[in-house]
Amino acid sequence: MNIKLNNGETLSYLKRQGGGHVVLLIHGNMASSVQYDLLLEKMDSIFTIYAVDLRGYGNSTYHKSINSMRDFSEDLKQFVDQLDLKKVYLIGWSNGGGVAMQFATDYPEHVNKMVLLSSMSTRGYPAFTADGERIHLRDQLVTAPKYHIFSVHQIFLKRRAIV
């Protein structure tokens, strides 16, 4: 199924009909709604379940660049509004956990409870320069070839080697 958003994007989603409790499943990075196949099949039938493909993932479109978690949150707001979902239980995994936290912050009136599975933060995955300085802006990643991206673990090992 698909929903056309006001921003020109189309979000694809899977739905499993159930009872009056609505669960919104938000997938992780490099994933899609299909990763939730077992939950769609096995979760208690008291739940109606929606598993959405975020913008740029699965069968959803990617016409406008994502600049922050808030972009995903705004997409989800349009999604729940168009489906007339008043309150949802959010389950967010990895990147989807960051999106769930951003949505709960932006639109707390729509959230019953939230479950986070190996969640990232609302600020995304951390990136660092070769000198260990945190990169805060997307433009720094895109326009500055002098930056080398290191994981948190690599920075820890680098700093430990210096000490």
Q: What is the pLDDT of residues 116-156, one digit of tens each?
A: 998 887 766 666 666 666 666 656 555 555 544 444 444 45
Give the model's pLDDT for residue 134. 66
Helix, strand, coil in percent for the chain, rounding step 5: 35, 25, 40
Give the model's pLDDT for residue 65. 86
Give the model's pLDDT for residue 120. 82
Higher pLDDT, 156 or 89: 89
Q: Around 54, how many Cα atoms within 13 Å sit in the side-chain half-sphere?
A: 28
Structural domains in the chain, sorted by start: 2-117 (3.40.50.1820), 127-162 (no CATH)
Cα separation, 101 vs 89, in Å, equals: 12
